[in-house]
Amino acid sequence: MHLFSAKIFFLIAAANGLLAVCLGAFGSHGLRDKLPENLMQAWTTAVSYHFYHLLAVFAVGLLLQQGLHSRFIQSAGYVFSLGLVLFCGSLYLLALGGPRWLGPITPLGGLCFIAGWALLFIGILKWKQ
């Protein structure tokens, strides 16, 4: 069961790695001269946070694979993944002219990232070696 959980997080991280590289390249080569500076900055922020947090999801997979079986660690992986969708996804869509109601979604994604790091901290803190 725990290896299945680790595999899920490895797959989520790998898929997001592929997506982040593609979206980063698209932003650099396809959008650089087409978006105003503020929207290009939003795109760049989304790509940066996308990379940081896909690595966090990968780390969760590694921790689970190495025997750190904790509901806090597993929850961190899911919350990081939700943050990727809400934070990065909303910024990507806003930069491409998505509806303005997406604006309030971005901070919810940021809260997911904060919660993910807190859950990871608690899970490691409670780790009994």
Q: pLDDT digit string (tens) for 16-64? A: 999 999 999 999 998 888 999 999 999 999 999 999 999 999 999 999 9
Tokens of 41: 């900055």
Question: Among candidates 42, 53, 111, which has minimal Cα distance to 81?
Answer: 53
pLDDT(2) > 80: no
* Average pLDDT, integer, range 96-103: 93
Lowest mean pLDDT among 3-7, 47-51, 111-115: 3-7
The 3-state DSSP class for residue 122 equals: helix
Q: What confidence score (pLDDT) does residue 107 get? A: 97
Q: What is the mean pLDDT of residues 83-100?
A: 96
Please report the pLDDT score of residue 78 as a whole number. 97
Query: Length of the chain in residues, anyone?
Result: 129
Query: 78-112 burial string, b = 16+ CB within 10 Å, else e?
Result: bbbbbbbebbbbbbbbbbeeeeeeeeebbeebeeb
Q: How far is CA 55 from the centre of its chain?
A: 8
> How confident is residue 3, by pLDDT bands cut at 50, 70 and 90?
low
Identify the domain containing residue 42 by its residue range: 2-125
Q: Which residue has the higher pLDDT, 91 or 33?
A: 91
Number of domains composing the chain: 1
Cα–Cα distance between 128 and 117 in angstroms, integer? 19
